[in-house]
């Protein structure tokens, strides 16, 4: 496997960053998770644009243009013979001192890893997830804005630990007002009466690229789409529920806090959206091979 680091493709064993890198010391950096399907990188331009937005928000200069970053991702996939896979794109503040001051850092690092991922066991895509809400709340916008995909994911990891303790794969995080925000790594949707509902971005939801794709597919399929504040009551009384994310794709949810959602099996609208999403991912994207 070849890893892209600062313009060079090196063997995995030689892929190293400094222990003084602020990405390692403080989570001072940004990242994107991207998928490749059928020899194409899905929504690559959108992922790179979001990476640059995250970097701008934390005043991190990326030493490549967006066009150069796109070419670097495609080349890394090509060298690793990726047709269906997962890409982790990372930009760190670079080496600095043991102090917090980011002005002491230099030589921002750009790292691209192209490999495989399986976020949830395959059988759960057929029978659906059981998930729970957890005490850990989503970061406040005034603290660390959830729109920033930073390397500091401790907020999500704490919630994931609580999911593990509860014996489930995923957890729902509420915001400080008690409204539904998102899961530890995915956006959350419910369907009721042919209407697709998902928490608004200001509630603490990530600006998910898969989230946006699914909302567009739902509207094209005749579903009404809204982004209201949602409570746990809204989740419990939904007809269907599912999660979306680059790694997760679309995965049905069948119970929340031990309450059966709808029939307790993946719903028909959820299955329809999964089919449409799979058709789209297999037929569009930035070509890896020409």
Question: Judging by DSSP bridges, how do beta strands 29-37 and 8-11 pair with one another?
Answer: unpaired
Q: How far apart are CA 78 and CA 7, in angstroms?
A: 15
Q: How far apart are CA 224 and CA 187, in angstroms?
A: 18
Q: How far apart are CA 124 and CA 191, in angstroms?
A: 19
Q: How far apart are CA 167 and CA 205, in angstroms?
A: 24
Look at residues 187, 184, 183 and name the one whose alpha carbon lies nearest to residue 196.
187
Q: How far apart are CA 117 and CA 37, in angstroms?
A: 12
How crowded is residue 156: how many other Cβ atoms within 10 Å of its Cβ?
20
State the distance between the two ends of the chain, measured CA to CA, in whole angstroms. Answer: 21
Beta bridge pairs of residue 141: none
Find the catalytic residue in 2, 149, 160, 276. 149
* Residue 149 annotated in active site: yes
Q: DSSP labels for 29-74?
A: EEEEEEEEETTEETTHHHHHHHHHHHHHHTT---SS-HHHHHHHHH
How crowded is residue 139: how many other Cβ atoms within 10 Å of its Cβ?
21
| Residues designated catalytic | 149
């Amino acid at each position: 496997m070849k890893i892209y680091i600062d313009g060079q493709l090196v063997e995995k064993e030689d892929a190293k960053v400094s222990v003084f890198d602020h990405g390692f010391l403080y989570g001072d950096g940004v990242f994107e998770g991207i998928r490749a399907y059928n020899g194409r990188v899905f929504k690559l331009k959108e992922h790179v644009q979001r990476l640059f937005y995250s970097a701008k928000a934390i005043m991190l200069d990326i030493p490549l243009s967006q066009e150069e970053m796109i070419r670097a991702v495609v080349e890394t996939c090509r060298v690793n013979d990726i047709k269906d896979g997962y890409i982790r794109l990372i930009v760190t503040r670079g080496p600095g001192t043991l102090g917090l001051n980011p002005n002491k850092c230099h030589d921002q690092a750009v790292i691209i890893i192209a490999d495989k991922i399986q976020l949830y066991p395959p059988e759960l895509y057929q029978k659906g997830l059981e998930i729970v809400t957890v005490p850990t709340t989503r970061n406040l916008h005034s603290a660390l804005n959830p729109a920033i995909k930073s390397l500091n994911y401790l907020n999500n990891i704490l919630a994931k630990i609580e999911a593990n303790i509860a014996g489930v794969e995923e957890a729902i995080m509420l915001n400080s007002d008690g409204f539904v925000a998102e899961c530890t790594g995915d956006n959350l949707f419910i369907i009721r009466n042919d209407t697709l509902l998902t928490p608004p971005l200001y509630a603490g939801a990530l600006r998910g690229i898969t989230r946006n794709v699914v909302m567009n597919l739902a509207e094209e399929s005749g579903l009404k789409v809204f982004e209201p504040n949602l409570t746990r009551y809204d989740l419990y009384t939904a007809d269907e529920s599912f999660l979306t994310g680059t790694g997760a794709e679309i995965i049905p949810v069948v119970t929340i806090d031990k309450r059966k959602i709808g029939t307790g099996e993946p719903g028909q609208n959820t299955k329809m959206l999964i089919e449409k999403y799979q058709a789209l991912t297999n037929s569009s994207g930035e070509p890896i091979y020409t």
